[in-house]
Structure 1
Amino acid sequence: MHDTPSRPRFPARIERLTADPASQAWALHGKAIAMQLAGREVCMLSVGDPDFDTPPSIGEAAWRALRAGRTHYPAIAGDTALRGAIAAHHRELSGSDCDPGQVQVFAGAQNALFMLMQALAGEGDEVIIADPYYATYPGVIAACGARMRALDTRDSGWHLTAAGIAAALTPATRVVLLNSPSNPCGVITPAEEVERIVELCRRQQLWLVADEVYGELMFEGGFHSVWRHHAEHDRIVVIGSASKRFAMTGWRLGWCLAPPDLIVRLKALATAGLFGTPPFLQDALAEALTAPPAEAEAMRREYAERARTVLAALDHCPGLQPIVPSAGMFVSIDLSGHALDGTAFAEALLADEAVALMPGIAFGESLRQGLRLSLVAPRPRLAEACAAIRRVASRWATAAAEA
């Protein structure tokens, strides 16, 4: 009897998923948590989990739904009331028509992103994204077997451009993933650039997936949602979330807007991998969207003030250049003026000052010499963290001058 040939224990796409170059960066966050558990006070600015509680009116709506028995199997695409609330919300936000039948509810925007990549890309396909990028993008692209094409955006204002996308196109290109306002930089793709990207995707018959979860955390002015162009191009998808606007990260509620033929396929994926989200949570989100609590606007204003605090505290720090955000809950810091490695700097900051930031490599090669600071602490605490950043930078500059 012949020996059976060696069979791989796991499929190649899963091995690609686990070979994450940002693992060292996430290991640093784990180290910070371990320090906390050991009793050391650590200023945790590494992840984007709001320090605000979910507004009470949202929690009360969930309790009312629980008491009303809203605990049975849900509608897979999302409850009728919630889909209607999401559609109305995006009609107001984008100024463009949106029908409840164009809405699919998921267990968070991350789940929506994963399901969308499963539906739109596969082995041999390419997905174009900006670098720097949200840290989970490589994983969701690898999980569907596609290849990621990350375009360096340092010379284009830290956002994608139609010209950059056009230069990167290959016959394998299938999806453009646009994150605006962006994580980690908080940069908004200008409206005229969005229009050029939409037109390019229309001509090339590419899917354009717009991750707009920070669109309602603009510091000033309104937001140009890609959804306003969905009548021009029938391969536009928009991802939304309750997590940051309403401080509902743990509730795991998100959604996407998509053309009806894609909704049919997303519903099939949701049936296979999710089977809907809890009805009592959906009711709470519908309430939040229909009657937004005052706390949501207060949080938006506070993030803007916190960003200004950080930018002022790091102003004129030699070798450090904050990337000025226009939205969101992060400030990224470019260390290239010092030729510093972001991971080494973050490790020194944690060890010497007990301040945890995320090394930039977690978000792509273009931010290797950088950091991301999460605006998830009161302004005085953020000012203290920035003073610690300046101290570490000063020590490194002195050591480099003496070398």
Structure 2
Amino acid sequence: MRFASVTDRLADLGAAKWAVHREARRRVLSGHDIIELAIGEPDTPAPQALIDAAIASLQARRTKYSGGRGETSVLEAIAAKYARRTGRAITTDNAAYMPGTQTALYTVISALAEAGNEVLVGDPLYATYEGVIRASGADMVLVPLDPAKGFHLQAEDLEARITPRSRVLLLNSPHNPTGATLTHDEIAAIVDVCVRHDLWIVSDEVYETMAYGSPFVSPFDMPEAAERTVVVSSISKSHMLPGMRAGWCVGPVDFIERMLPLSEMMLFGGQPFIQDMAAFALSAEFDECAKMVESFRSRAEILPEVLANAPGLRCSKPEGGMFAMVDVTGTGLDGENFAWRLLNEENVAVMPGSSFGQQAAGHIRVSLSADADQLREAAARMVRLAIRLTQGKAA
């Protein structure tokens, strides 16, 4: 039987990248005591007021069809958020509701790139970026992010990889997996390159509220980039609600209008009761969210502290997000082998850096989604493994 070529383009993506995590999950379900630091989701409960709002809306039978763009209430809340942030007139015409950032990414990239085009993205990169780019038919062009420069995207490195086929830069700051948070000057230099080469910027801002070093900066907030930038985001991390799948995209009115038919053919709206909850989330402040950010800010200190004198390991303090990158090359292993040894010998599950691109192949990505005591214990076990490896005593 015949299949569409998109199935071939995506065939080698997905499950293999998560092998360590899946094995750790299997062992946990079999009764093993594993410290799980592979998956990035907040470990603190969502604000009870948001859960109550979703239940109240569901009980009010807000379960009928929704418009393809989204409910008016959530669109108004999204528009108000970006009007406050940018200081510009942002209306509901600039916004579309999506069930999560992943759906927004897929739809936006599909609306901007196709076969024969190129999408530029930093390496390391979030694990699903390659898939959303390949699905569009476009080619992915990797821009190396140098660990010696904190994995910060450099404007000159970006420009060196632009060709006449380049159409889109997929940008992520604060960055998953590295935690790099770009400064205002760095974003401005990247915007300058994109303006001169007429590139769209797709800005994944799911970690907007979790910048610990430099203040969060978005190209969408810069007037010179406003008409070429599309923001994708959600309340998955900011409000500890990853399973609710509530996100959006914001961009130029013309882009939103051109994208909507594509979105509608896939989705034609989300659940109204979840949109009601998302509108409330974006329209109020919640103590639980502020405490969550502070807990991750504090946890970001732990691995660099505990691993400071560990043989063969190096870890810089994350500048944002909910992950830390540990360079394990000094142990003689790459990230893949170190991650498996860490699971098998020390019962700690992390992600091999190679799951996020070749620039991180010598690293492991550690999720900070565990309490301080667990993180310290996991770090101590990393040190134990590193000592055995560097002293040549490993089995």
TM over 0.5: yes
Contact 2:181/2:211 (8 A) holds in 1: no
Distance apart, 1:311 and its partner CA: 1.8
Partner of 2:308: 315
Distance apart, 1:397 and its partner CA: 0.8
1:343 to 1:185, Cα distance in 2 relative to 1, 3 A: same
**Greater displacement, 108-117 / 335-344:** 335-344
Distance apart, 1:398 and its partner CA: 1.3
Residues 336-347 of structure 1 mapped to structure 2, 5 A cutoff: 336-347=329-340
Which residue of 111, 126, 130 corresponds with 1:134? Answer: 126
**Greater displacement, 236-245 / 316-325:** 316-325
Partner of 2:239: 246
Deviations 1:101-152 (A, max 9, x none): 1011111001000001110111121111011111110111111111111111
Distance apart, 1:242 and its partner CA: 0.3
Distance apart, 1:68 and its partner CA: 2.0
Structure 2 residues not aligned, in runs of 5+? none
User: SS of the counterpart of 1:373?
Assistant: strand
Partner of 2:143: 151
Partner of 1:107: 99
Which residue of 174, 177, 187 corresponds with 1:181? Answer: 174
Partner of 2:324: 331
Which residue of 186, 208, 212 corresponds with 2:205? Answer: 212
Contact 1:96/1:227 (8 A) holds in 2: no
Find out whether 1:376 has 2:369 as its counterpart: yes
**Which residue identity lines up with residue 391 of structure 1 in the other structure?**
R
Contact 2:233/2:249 (8 A) holds in 1: yes
Partner of 1:305: 298
**Greater displacement, 322-331 / 91-100:** 91-100
User: SS of the counterpart of 1:81?
Assistant: helix
Partner of 1:116: 108
Distance apart, 1:267 and its partner CA: 1.4
**Which residue identity lines up with residue 310 of structure 1 in the other structure?**
L
**Which residue identity lines up with residue 266 of structure 2 in the other structure?**
G
**Which residue identity lines up with residue 205 of structure 2 in the other structure?**
E
Number of residue equivalences:
394
For residues 89 and 190 of structure 2, what CA distance do their matches in structure 1 show?
21
Partner of 2:378: 385
**Greater displacement, 189-198 / 89-98:** 89-98
User: SS of the counterpart of 2:45?
Assistant: coil
Distance apart, 1:259 and its partner CA: 0.9
**Which residue identity lines up with residue 46 of structure 1 in the other structure?**
A
Find out whether 1:293 has 2:286 as its counterpart: yes
User: SS of the counterpart of 1:18?
Assistant: coil
Q: TM-score, normalised by structure 1?
A: 0.94
For residues 223 and 67 of structure 2, what CA distance do their matches in structure 1 show?
25
Contact 2:183/2:216 (8 A) holds in 1: no
Contact 1:93/1:225 (8 A) holds in 2: no
Deviations 1:283-331 (A, max 9, x none): 1111111112110000000001111122211112122111321111111
Partner of 1:46: 38
Deviations 1:27-62 (A, max 9, x none): 111111110111111111101021112110001111
**Which residue identity lines up with residue 101 of structure 2 in the other structure?**
A
Distance apart, 1:233 and its partner CA: 4.8
Which residue of 186, 191, 208 corresponds with 1:198? Answer: 191
For residues 346 and 173 of structure 2, what CA distance do their matches in structure 1 show?
33
For residues 27 and 347 of structure 1, what CA distance do their matches in structure 2 show?
10
Contact 1:198/1:233 (8 A) holds in 2: no
Contact 2:170/2:203 (8 A) holds in 1: yes
User: SS of the counterpart of 2:143?
Assistant: strand
Find out whether 1:160 has 2:153 as its counterpart: yes
Distance apart, 1:213 and its partner CA: 0.8
Partner of 1:3: none
Contact 1:94/1:224 (8 A) holds in 2: no
Find out whether 1:125 has 2:117 as its counterpart: yes
For residues 232 and 177 of structure 1, what CA distance do their matches in structure 2 show?
14
Distance apart, 1:12 and its partner CA: 3.2
- What RMSD in Å do the two structures reach over aligned CA positions? 1.7
User: SS of the counterpart of 1:52?
Assistant: coil
Identity %: 38
Distance apart, 1:95 and its partner CA: 3.7
**Greater displacement, 223-232 / 39-48:** 223-232
Structure 1 residues not aligned, in runs of 5+? 1-6
